[in-house]
Amino acid sequence: MEITTILLGFIIVLNIVFAVIVIFRERRDATASWAWLLVLFFIPVLGFVLYMLLGQNLSRYHMFQWEDRKKLGIEKIIATQLESIRNNTFEFRDEVAKNNKQLISMHILNNDAILTDDNMIEIFTDGHQKFNQLLKDIQAAEHHIHLQYYILKKDQLGIRLIEELEKKAKQGVRVKVLYDDLGSRGLRPSFFKRLRQADGEVEVFFPSRLRWINLRMNYRNHRKLVIIDGKVGYVGGFNVGDEYLGLDPKFGYWRDTHLRIHGRAVHAIQTRFILDWNQATEKQKIAFSSHFFPEPEENSKGSSSVQIVTSGPDSEWEQIKNGYIKMVSTAKKSIRIQTPYFIPDASLLDALKIACLSGVDVELMIPNKPDHPFVYWATMSYVGELLNSGARVYIYDNGFIHAKTIVVDEELASVGTANIDMRSFKLNFEVNAFVYDAEIALELVEAFQHDQSVSRELTLEAYVNRKKIIRFKESVSRLLSPIL
């Protein structure tokens, strides 16, 4: 009994010490701190191990540095754009960008997200179409291919993609592949053996020093970027794997949204890749070359205004989330959202509820099945609040919807990798394209309306009458939502 009492007392004291560390060392927001304290209370000692794996704060670290950015003149462009916007002398290419100059200024100031207005955009909502075009672009590459994915699988699609990259590397094209260690945890270095033998380069983001344990499990690079010859850029929700072609029976058809971009926005995508690559590598860092930032060709120029906005746990600001809030707060007629997870923080949830109560038509589309159960049930708990405020919610029944899109007033849109959840806002490294173009926004609205035809509406009455077991799952999952 004495040994048990001593051991119990030791565990209690140790847990108090851990709790103090959680509260004072990281200085995180109150909701996340309380969630971690609950974990420590219910799972003594082991809870702190989970905290060390999942809960550390990276905001004080400066992870991404590239001195050659000065050669791009980014600082000068930022200063010029900010000054001219504030002085009302900036020449906006269209009314949509002009009407959203506050949002544009915020992204320039807090994220160095230069506004480019000569972009041609193609939207993909189907995996077959997206990857067929990507493979064609890879086959046409002449100088370099930079490819970055959160998930890269060794299956039919993954093997086909790496084989095409191997062919281009043998032709003298400079090929670089960056993938996330946790997202692509099934990969082994042998998968890239032939690509490396062909002088292709491969790096891993935040690799684990131990085979089965990664002490930075929470801080993953969730970005999906491809840049070809500095002329074509891809950004969006599709990863690389057969399931994204709808070949996984668990999920069925995979509905996502991805953008293919020509224009100066590709330079911003390129810069993001270089920053991520240089962080991941020690010996093969990329130095500035004009080949990476060619002038757009006249026949590939468009008229879409775009900002490439990034966010991550190394930053003090939650740039993409703040962009979402600003978009929602400026809505006058409609807001359409597609997301696989809906776990907003209080600020975004309040903004959406205020929009509903102000007469703005708010429509949300989510999947009909979970790929992460706790996240799914937490999503349903927040959905109830939107329904109660007057929003309309649709459950996508044609497979799995993974798109991360917001369209406001059928003229302003955001497409990228960031989900509407606290993981994307605070923990993952993400990238979104904010597009100021009514034609592109209308294409996304039409895609949303098409998806409505294969969805069912979740009414407030049906939600209120849900089973008690579902209410219980929602309550538990919502309690843990700050750390999901």
Whether 409 sits among the annotated catalytic residues: the reply is yes
Distance CA 313, CA 373 (A): 24
The H or E element spanning position 331 is none
| Short-list 272, 458, 483, 294, CA closest to 378 | 483
| Short-list 187, 220, 223, 227, CA closest to 205 | 220
Sign of CA dihedral 426, 432, 437, 441: negative
Whether 361 sits among the annotated catalytic residues: the reply is no
Which residues, at least 6 apart from 386, have a Cβ–Cβ distance to it below 8 Å? 349, 352, 353, 356, 362, 364, 393
Q: CB count, 10 Å around CB of 310?
A: 26
Distance CA 340, CA 237 (A): 10
Tokens coding 313: 């746990």
* C-alpha to C-alpha distances, 22 to 36, 192, 316, nearest whole angstrom: 8, 40, 18
Tokens coding 71: 């050669």
Distance CA 183, CA 211 (A): 14
Distance CA 114, CA 265 (A): 8
Whether 262 sits among the annotated catalytic residues: the reply is no
Active-site option among 153, 258, 402, 473: 402
Q: CB count, 10 Å around CB of 155?
A: 16
| Short-list 171, 166, 120, CA closest to 142 | 171
Q: CB count, 10 Å around CB of 400?
A: 22
Cβ atoms 414, 96 nearer than 8 A: no
Distance CA 136, CA 357 (A): 47
What is the DSSP pairing of strand 334-338 with strand 361-367?
parallel
Whether 402 sits among the annotated catalytic residues: the reply is yes
Active-site option among 130, 144, 146, 222: 222
Enumerate long-range contacts of 280-287, CB under 8 Å, 24 or more apart. 280/178, 280/203, 280/204, 280/205, 280/206, 281/201, 281/203, 284/201, 284/203, 286/66, 286/176, 287/68
Q: What is the DSSP code (8-state) at residue 192?
A: G
Whether 369 sits among the annotated catalytic residues: the reply is no
What count of Cα atoms within 13 Å lies in the side-chain half-sphere of residue 147? 27
Active-site option among 144, 153, 224, 426: 224
Active-site option among 262, 404, 426, 473: 404
Beta bridge partners of 435: 306, 413
Whether 199 sits among the annotated catalytic residues: the reply is no
* C-alpha to C-alpha distances, 388 to 385, 466, 474, nearest whole angstrom: 5, 14, 16
Active-site option among 409, 421, 437, 451: 409
Active-site option among 117, 180, 181, 229: 229
Distance CA 272, CA 181 (A): 18
Residue positions annotated with a catalytic role: 222, 224, 229, 402, 404, 409
